[in-house]
Structure 1
Amino acid sequence: MFFDAALIESIPRLFTPVLLAAIGSALCDRANVFNIALEGMMLIGAFAAVVGTFYTGNALAGLGLAIVSGALSGLVFAYFGVTRGGDHIIVSIGFNVLAIGLTAFLLGRIFGVSGQFDDPAIVQLPRIHLGPVADIPLIGPFVSGQSILVWLAIFLVVAVTWLLKNHKYGLRLRAAGQNAAAMRTVGVSPERVKTAAVIACGVLCAMGGAQLSISNVTLFTEGMSAGRGWIALVIMMMCSARLPWILPTAILFGLVDAFGFRMQGLGLPQQLTESMPYVLAIVVLMLVFRKRTARYAR
């Protein structure tokens, strides 16, 4: 059977890394920081999660190290892109290249391997089982037995939406992106607000990386973020950074990704099935920009 419980169960695991990164990207967008370093931040978080879990034997410790690495990644980006006023695209490209090279280098220095590191000492993040709910057709496999990061990502959609609409930080975030000069007149530094947004983005991307390396699997592979940071950026852009729309869009991409894995089992080439989410991203982005262009042409 093509559409079965195993397929449904895999959807949250696949959309969670993208959703977390897209939330972080939305925060940067509100602060007028064009951060396309999501890919590198996810990759560093995935590597840090494996290192922390391997040396402590505790998956939550690995997640904690991933969060720290994400905060440091955000600080690096903020220093060059916000404090020093560097071009955001150039800083992002440099950071992504750095992340690829740094994780490959540390993989060899720390574990003495190249390409991939897999060890029984790497333990998986805790999963939340909902008892009888797991027996409900369709719904049960989707919600029960999922990583704590799946539920955290969904909670963050609600929490960040509330923060942006009802908390003074949300107002300051929009002001920093739209009218930084006005913020300075009331004694608030727009650079600090932007820096906080970039650090939060780094943490969220790193948690997405941890979902990849110590939840979906228990290993690290060079380049294992595999373009998910770019998909998160596309989701943010097509939803205009509106979090209530980002969640269902991320679920859609998770569904397409799950279909791709299933079709590999039916004999379709791996290269074809793995390209499906990216083809969807390109098509959707083309439709969004076509709609916007038509609106402005009126």
Structure 2
Amino acid sequence: MLNMLLSQVLDLMTPVLLAAMAGTLCERAGVFNIALEGKMLVGAFAAVAASVAFGSPMVAVLFAVVCTAIFAFPLALGGARFGGDPIVIGIGLNLLAAGLTTYLLSALFGVTGTLVDPAVIALPRFGIGALAGLPVLGAIADGHNLLVYLSWLLVLVLNVYLFRTRWGLRLRGIGEVPSAAAAMGANVNRYQTAIVLLAGALCGLAGAQLALGSVALFAENMTAGRGWIAVVAVMLGRAHPLGIALACFGFGLADAIGLRLQGQGLPNQITDIAPYAITLLAMIGLGLRGAMRKIRNT
């Protein structure tokens, strides 16, 4: 039972984890990205639309990546290149994504609410021989789709990139002291623009996992706050990939437990709030920690 629960946690946390990795890159580059929610929603819609059109989940994932990278252009150009307020631009992108996907759902498919089509193919699950033979870990980590494994590989890659390479050191320098980085010859605007576009692509993966991972459908506003949870995960993990992965695991665990309790007859209105309640408590904890730090420093 515990193995099944933890296996479900890995599926549920993957969209948040991928979006949080996108937020981590932006945070390290000095661009506060709160448009993760809208980009995930665009990625989910693009993945389902491409799955209907081409009948291939892999093509659907690639299409979602391209579409969300394009959708990230306003933040990349306005926030990173031309010095606009990234918070204002991010809120605008979130509102645009909600309205645009609702409109396209009706205009392209003639439905409202939820698109369920036999042509939408979920991402295939597969086993990894090296994992399947492990006593406990095999039952938890084996039998997921490619994006689940990719998300954990991405955590390790970003951890090495940010803290073990000179390119990661340069990126962190741009985020912390951009004037000093520019004086050392780094093109701050170019770095930030590229990172925001890359973050958009990662949100495309998050949206594809959300729409084609455990389910094979698109529903209006189906992200349901997961992008905001990803923003909180970045804050909780202090923009460190390993800390963020731990925070996302906690959110996924809360979501999985909520679904289990719903299956036991608890009203879904109660179980659905579990991840958001934890998010709220985490934000309160962050505020209290900051207040205590200020008190100690005075």
Alignment TM-score > 0.5, same fold = yes
Question: Could you tell me which amino acid in structure 2 is paired with residue 13 of structure 1?
Answer: D
The residue number in structure 1 matching 2:295 is: 297
The residue number in structure 2 matching 1:55 is: 53
Q: From the superposition, tell whether residues 246 and 66 of structure 1 become closer, same or farther in structure 2 (CA, over 3 Å).
A: same
Q: Distance in 1 between matches of 2:175 and 2:137?
A: 40
Q: Distance in 2 between matches of 1:172 and 1:218?
A: 40
The residue number in structure 1 matching 2:63 is: 65
Question: Could you tell me which amino acid in structure 2 is paired with residue 283 of structure 1?
Answer: L
- Equivalent position to 1:159, from 157, 160, 180: 157
Q: Is the 8 A contact 2:45 2:218 kept in 1?
A: yes
- Equivalent position to 2:140, from 118, 139, 142: 142
Q: How does 1:1-298 map to 2 (within 5 A)?
A: 3-130=1-128, 134=132, 138-298=136-296
Question: Could you tell me which amino acid in structure 2 is paired with residue 120 of structure 1?
Answer: P
Give structure 2 stretches of 5+ with no counterpart: none
Q: Is the 8 A contact 2:236 2:243 kept in 1?
A: no
User: How many Å apart are 1:7 and its aligned residue?
Assistant: 2.5
Question: Could you tell me which amino acid in structure 2 is paired with residue 25 of structure 1?
Answer: G
3-state SS in 1 of match to 2:213: helix
User: How many Å apart are 1:288 and its aligned residue?
Assistant: 2.4
User: How many Å apart are 1:224 and its aligned residue?
Assistant: 0.6
Give structure 1 stretches of 5+ with no counterpart: none
Question: Could you tell me which amino acid in structure 2 is paired with residue 250 of structure 1?
Answer: C
3-state SS in 1 of match to 2:72: helix
3-state SS in 2 of match to 1:216: coil
Question: Could you tell me which amino acid in structure 1 is paired with residue 267 of structure 2?
Answer: P
3-state SS in 1 of match to 2:122: coil
Q: Distance in 2 between matches of 1:158 and 1:49?
A: 26
Q: Percent identity?
A: 42
Q: Distance in 2 between matches of 1:162 and 1:140?
A: 25
Aligned length in residues: 296
TM-score between the two structures when normalised by the length of structure 2 = 0.94
Once the two structures are superposed, what CA deviation does each residue of 1:41-77 show, in whole Å capped at 9, x if it has no partner? 0000001111111111110000000110121122221
Q: Is the 8 A contact 1:11 1:142 kept in 2?
A: no
Q: Distance in 1 between matches of 2:269 and 2:5?
A: 20
User: How many Å apart are 1:257 and its aligned residue?
Assistant: 0.3
Q: Is the 8 A contact 2:4 2:140 kept in 1?
A: no
Q: Is the 8 A contact 2:74 2:89 kept in 1?
A: no
Question: Could you tell me which amino acid in structure 1 is paired with residue 187 of structure 2?
Answer: S
TM-score between the two structures when normalised by the length of structure 1 = 0.94
User: How many Å apart are 1:28 and its aligned residue?
Assistant: 0.8
